[in-house]
């Protein structure tokens, strides 16, 4: 079987790592991949947002399954183009991907499905948005409706920050058309939790829960990032809460989409806050989380290729997922300056020096091979993943791996997964 994985981050490296364990795989392409995935797959230099070019490549190279990692090609409709060409693709079509591509659309689905969501209003008019803000006050959260590369959300502690965020979105057009609609949302507090599921629009197969670490610095300080680390499962979330989320968030959302004629096939990601009054949804994504995938896929004992094929074919009802009973922790190593400006091209050393630490996997994010060296090529550079019997062992292994690796200006959080212990 021949598989193509679309995307070039650590999530896609983790997918390739997992897919390559299926013995019927004869070839994996990574589009465009990175220095890590290119040692496990053949990397191709192609514009992943050009769906027609991607489909032509898949046809010319007899690809049996294309797995789409990032949200941009999904919301642009890559799955629809592949389906129109009769090509098998894992990932939702454009309509279904609006669950991530439009926060307003996701709220409408949640409201109709009776799913607990943070209270919000959306605006296209600046004066109306400001008037609403004056009524609700701070703290409050201001969000661009569309995709904004992780920069569209501002958590505002005071009213002036909120005013400035609304102006950036609706007047200054900082996010372009993605900010034509601005959402003002109630601020919620509590631990965050990610629960994802495979779904073919009918069957929902939930994955283990995970917890991301969004802020850049220890103690959840500093600016928000794409995620500085994660762990799975989440010992503080009991079976009752987890089942509640599956039954009251994921299933009704998929059912609602189906009722509206939208057949969701792929991974549905629910990002939640566990408030005093129960779990509340902050956002949906139309794909695997990053870095959540990097801690969940190593724990998945089922064959992911079979599951993804069945998802793509609408045939998931006879499948179940088997999980390791271990714990998995990922620590992200980032470039100096990230999530602000950073420079590429720093040489990474120590990657070949991990063989004697058991149960450590390095998934590359922003890396590139230049001659015989691996250099940084992104804000998030590496995910060092440790597996262990418990959170202590998994953390110790991940950080033992981090200790061996070095590049100029690197930074990482030292408290990943401590919330699972304290
Ligand atoms: P998002 O881009 O929607 O994942 O939001 C980024 C981060 O902003 C989330 O992971 C939360 O930490 C925070 N956030 C988003 N919405 C809210 C909210 N309503 N209340 C509190 N924090 C929020
Ligand atoms: N970890 C958050 C996301 O993938 O959007």
Render pLDDT for 135-189 as a digit per residue (tens, 0 to 9).
Answer: 999 899 999 999 988 788 899 999 999 999 999 988 889 998 998 989 999 999 9
Beta-carbon contacts of 352 under 8 Å, excluding residues fewer than 6 positions away, are: none
Helix (H, G, I), strand (E, B) or coil at 227: coil
Closest by alpha carbon to 74, among 88, 95, 60, 58? 95
User: In terms of Cα–Cα distance, which of 121, 4, 128, 15 is closest to 55?
Assistant: 4
Span from the CA of 283 to the centroid of ligand 2 (angstroms): 10
Tell me, using a 6 A CB cutoff, whether residue 155 lines ligand 1.
Answer: yes
Q: Which ligand is nearest to the CA of 224?
A: 1
Determine if residue 12 is left, alpha or beta; phi over 0 gives left, psi from -120 to 50 gives alpha, anything else beta.
Answer: alpha
pLDDT tier for residue 110 given thresholds of 50, 70 and 90:
very high
**Which residue has the least CA distance to atom 5 on ligand 2?**
289
Q: Which atom of ligand 1 is nearest to the CA of 118?
A: 19
Ligand 1 neighbourhood includes 106 CB (under 6 angstroms): no
Check residue 288 and give its pLDDT.
Answer: 98
- Ligand 2 site residues (CB inside 6 A) read 212, 227, 285, 289-290, 292
Nearest ligand for residue 282 CA: 1
DSSP one-letter code for 248 = I
- What is the rounded CA–CA span in Å between residue 121 and residue 166? 13
Q: How far apart are CA 71 and CA 66, in angstroms?
A: 14
For residue 224, the model assigns a pLDDT of: 86
pLDDT tens for each residue of 290-314: 999 999 999 999 999 999 999 999 9
Q: Whose CA is nearest to atom 18 of ligand 1?
A: 187
- What burial class does residue 100 get, using C-beta atoms within 10 Å of its C-beta: 0-12 exposed, 13-18 middle, 19+ buried? buried
Write the CA distances from 376 to 38, 45, 271, 400, 414, integer angstroms.
15, 18, 29, 21, 21
Helices 126-136 and 159-170 cross at an angle (nearest 10°) of 160
pLDDT digits (tens, 9 = 90+) for 14-49: 999 999 999 899 999 999 999 999 988 999 999 999
pLDDT of residue 69: 98
CA of 227 to the centre of ligand 2 (A): 7
Kindly report the protein residue whose alpha carbon is nearest to atom 4 of ligand 2: 289
Structural domains in the chain plus CATH codes: 2-94 (3.40.50.20), 119-186 (3.30.1490.20), 189-318 (3.30.470.20), 327-421 (3.90.600.10)
pTM score, whole prediction: 0.96
Task: Kindly report the protein residue whose alpha carbon is nearest to atom 3 of ligand 2.
Answer: 289
Atom of ligand 2 at shortest distance to CA of 292?
A: 1
Residue 86: CB atoms within 10 A of its CB come to: 8
Which residue, judged by its Cα, is nearest atom 5 of ligand 1?
153
If one residue of 153, 273, 419 were mutated to test the ligand 1 pocket, choosing by the most ligand atoms within 8 A of its CB, it would be 153
How close is the Cα of 412 to the center of ligand 1, in Å?
A: 21
Mean pLDDT for the chain?
A: 95
The pLDDT of 198-208, averaged and rounded, is 98
């Amino acid at each position: 079987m021949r598989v193509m994985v679309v995307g070039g981050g650590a999530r896609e490296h983790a997918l390739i790592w997992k897919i390559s364990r299926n013995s019927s795989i004869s070839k994996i392409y990574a589009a465009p991949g990175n220095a890590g995935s290119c040692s496990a797959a053949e990397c191709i230099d192609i514009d992943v947002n050009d769906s027609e070019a991607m489909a032509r490549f898949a046809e010319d190279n007899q690809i049996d399954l294309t797995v789409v990692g990032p949200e941009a090609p999904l919301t642009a409709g890559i799955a629809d183009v592949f389906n129109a060409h009769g090509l098998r693709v894992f990932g939702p079509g454009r309509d279904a991907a609006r669950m991530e591509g439009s926060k307003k659309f996701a709220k409408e689905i949640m409201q109709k499905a009776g799913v607990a969501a943070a209270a919000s209003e959306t605006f296209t008019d600046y004066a109306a948005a400001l008037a609403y803000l004056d009524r609700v006050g701070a703290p409050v959260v201001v969000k661009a409706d569309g995709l904004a590369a992780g920069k569209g959300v501002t958590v505002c502690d005071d009213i002036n920050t909120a005013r400035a965020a609304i102006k950036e979105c609706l007047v200054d057009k900082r996010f372009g058309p993605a900010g034509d609609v601005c959402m003002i949302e109630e601020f919620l507090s509590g631990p965050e939790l990610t629960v994802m599921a495979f779904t073919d629009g009918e069957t929902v197969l939930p994955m283990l829960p995970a917890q991301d670490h969004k802020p850049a610095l220890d103690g959840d300080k500093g600016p928000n990032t794409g995620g500085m680390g994660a762990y799975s499962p989440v010992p503080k979330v009991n079976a009752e809460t987890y089942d509640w989320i599956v039954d009251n968030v994921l299933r009704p959302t998929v059912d609602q989409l189906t009722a509206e004629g939208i057949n969701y096939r792929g991974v549905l990601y629910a990002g939640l806050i566990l408030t005093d009054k129960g779990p509340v949804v902050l956002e949906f994504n139309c794909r695997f989380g990053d870095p959540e995938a990097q801690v969940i896929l190593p724990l998945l004992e089922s064959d992911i290729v079979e599951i993804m094929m069945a998802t793509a074919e609408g045939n998931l009802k006879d499948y179940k997922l088997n999980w390791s009973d271990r714990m998995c922790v990922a620590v992200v190593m980032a470039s100096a300056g990230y999530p602000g400006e950073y420079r590429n091209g720093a040489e990474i050393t120590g990657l070949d020096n991990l063989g004697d630490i058991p149960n450590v996997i390095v998934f590359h994010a922003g890396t590139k091979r230049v001659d015989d060296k691996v250099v940084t090529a992104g804000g998030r550079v590496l995910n060092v993943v440790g597996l262990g019997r418990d959170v202590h062992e998994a953390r110790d292994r991940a950080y033992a791996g981090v200790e061996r690796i070095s590049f100029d200006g690197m930074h990482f959080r030292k408290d990943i997964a401590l919330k699972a212990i304290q």
